[in-house]
């Protein structure tokens, strides 16, 4: 399969978890992938190595998101590599995947924790998209990682769920603005996926059972379950879909 031959993708948070699986899958489809990482440089280098060993093309770009200025800093690094490799700065696919969880009841949520989850999940995504716009080619793709917690009420994750609600609103709002360029904007809403974000649940017997029973299929989601749908959304096959928040939760709590 090579639906993405000639395309260039930036996948944020691709050093681990869902982002890693997305980077590998987009590369398998033929895209050149910018594997973004926050702090795990070695893990990102490993993803790049794996893509290259399979005959694909990738490079890593590091930037931790703390303030809005970090979006510009990421693009400075990306511009340099793209200019070296392709002679220009444009790319085709932006997957806004980097994110953090926050498990805390509203009574226990501190202002610092609230700001951190908002800054990483909402503010960074907003400014990454803002600064991607002059770089994204027509018929490009913006794919945002949201969460099924925007549909299903889950105790103890109010602030986190709010960040994903903001992502859904951003997705809808931008879709009509960018349609004249053929750029689609969609969000994916995973349920429980077996990644570091859910380490505590995965390591606990009752937590593991809770996560598995959430889905209609009675198992935890795997990063590849999300990567496969992302590859479809990144391809021209999805050209008639925009402004959608797509449930990829294995039919959780239907
Ligand atoms: P992981 O914790 O496995 O990985 C998170 C990734 O995001 C890492 O690559 C990390 O980079 C990067 N990242 C985190 N914080 C920052 C930051 N401040 N600056 C830059 N990069 C950062 O997460 P998942 O793979 O589980 O989640 C990926 C996305 O999917 C998130 O947006 C999450 O909210 C969403 N999601 C996940 C679900 C799940 O059950 N796992 C369910 C629903 C949605 P590094 O390690 O290099 O620092």
Q: Cα–Cα distance between 227 and 232 in angstroms, integer?
A: 9
Tally of CA atoms within 13 A in the half-sphere of 39 that contains its CB: 4
**Which of 25, 61, 98 should be mutated for ligand 1, with most atoms under 8 A from CB?**
98
In this structure, the strands spanning 32-37 and 245-248 are: unpaired
CA of 98 to the centre of ligand 1 (A): 4
106: which residues sit within 8 A by CB, 6+ positions away? 158, 159
Which one of 37, 75, 160, 214 is the catalytic residue?
160
CA of 17 to the centre of ligand 1 (A): 7
51: which residues sit within 8 A by CB, 6+ positions away? 23, 24, 27, 33, 35, 57, 58
Q: Cα–Cα distance between 194 and 21 in angstroms, integer?
A: 12
pLDDT at 196: 98
60 bridge partner residues? 35
Residue list, ligand 1 pocket, CB within 6 Å: 13, 15-19, 37-40, 64-65, 97-100, 120, 145, 147, 190, 192-193, 195-198
Q: Cα–Cα distance between 70 and 110 in angstroms, integer?
A: 24
User: Closest ligand 1 atom to the C-alpha of 116?
Assistant: 18
**Which of 12, 17, 47 should be mutated for ligand 1, with most atoms under 8 A from CB?**
17
Place of tokens 């908002």: 118
For residue 212 the two structure tokens come to: 């598995």
**Ordered per-residue pLDDT tens for the chain, 254 residues:** 589 999 999 999 999 999 999 999 999 999 999 999 999 999 999 999 999 999 999 999 999 999 999 999 999 999 999 999 999 999 999 999 999 999 999 999 999 999 999 999 999 999 999 999 999 999 999 999 999 999 999 999 999 999 999 999 999 999 999 999 999 999 999 999 999 999 999 999 999 999 999 999 999 999 999 999 999 999 999 999 999 999 999 999 99
Q: What is the dihedral of CA 226, 57, 15, 212, to 10 degrees?
A: 20
Q: Cα–Cα distance between 98 and 194 in angstroms, integer?
A: 16
Q: Cα–Cα distance between 115 and 28 in angstroms, integer?
A: 36
219: which residues sit within 8 A by CB, 6+ positions away? 212, 250
Please indicate, yes or no, whether the overall pTM of this predicted structure exceeds 0.85: yes
214 carries an active-site annotation: no
């Amino acid at each position: 399969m090579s639906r993405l031959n000639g395309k260039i993708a930036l996948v944020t948070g691709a050093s681990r978890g869902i982002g890693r699986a997305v980077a590998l899958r987009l590369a398998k489809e033929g895209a050149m992938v910018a594997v973004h990482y926050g702090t795990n440089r070695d893990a990102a280098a490993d993803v790049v190595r794996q893509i290259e060993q399979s005959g694909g093309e990738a490079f890593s770009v590091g930037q931790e998101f703390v303030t809005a200025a970090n979006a510009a800093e990421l693009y400075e690094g990306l511009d340099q590599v793209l200019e070296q490799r392709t002679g220009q700065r444009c790319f085709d696919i932006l997957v806004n995947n980097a994110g953090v969880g926050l498990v805390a009841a509203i009574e226990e949520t501190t202002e610092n924790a609230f700001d951190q989850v908002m800054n990483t999940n909402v503010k960074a995504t907003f400014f990454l998209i803002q600064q991607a716009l002059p770089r994204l080619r027509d018929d490009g793709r913006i794919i945002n990682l949201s969460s099924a917690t925007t549909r299903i009420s889950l105790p103890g994750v109010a602030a986190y769920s709010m960040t994903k609600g903001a992502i859904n609103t951003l997705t809808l709002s931008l879709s009509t603005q960018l349609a004249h360029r053929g750029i689609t904007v969609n969000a994916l809403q995973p349920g429980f996926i077996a990644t570091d974000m859910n380490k505590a649940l995965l390591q606990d017997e009752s937590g593991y059972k809770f996560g598995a029973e959430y889905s209609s299929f009675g198992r935890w989601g795997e990063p590849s379950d999300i990567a496969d749908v992302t590859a479809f959304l990144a391809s021209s096959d999805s050209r008639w879909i925009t402004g959608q928040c797509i449930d990829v939760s294995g039919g959780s709590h239907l």
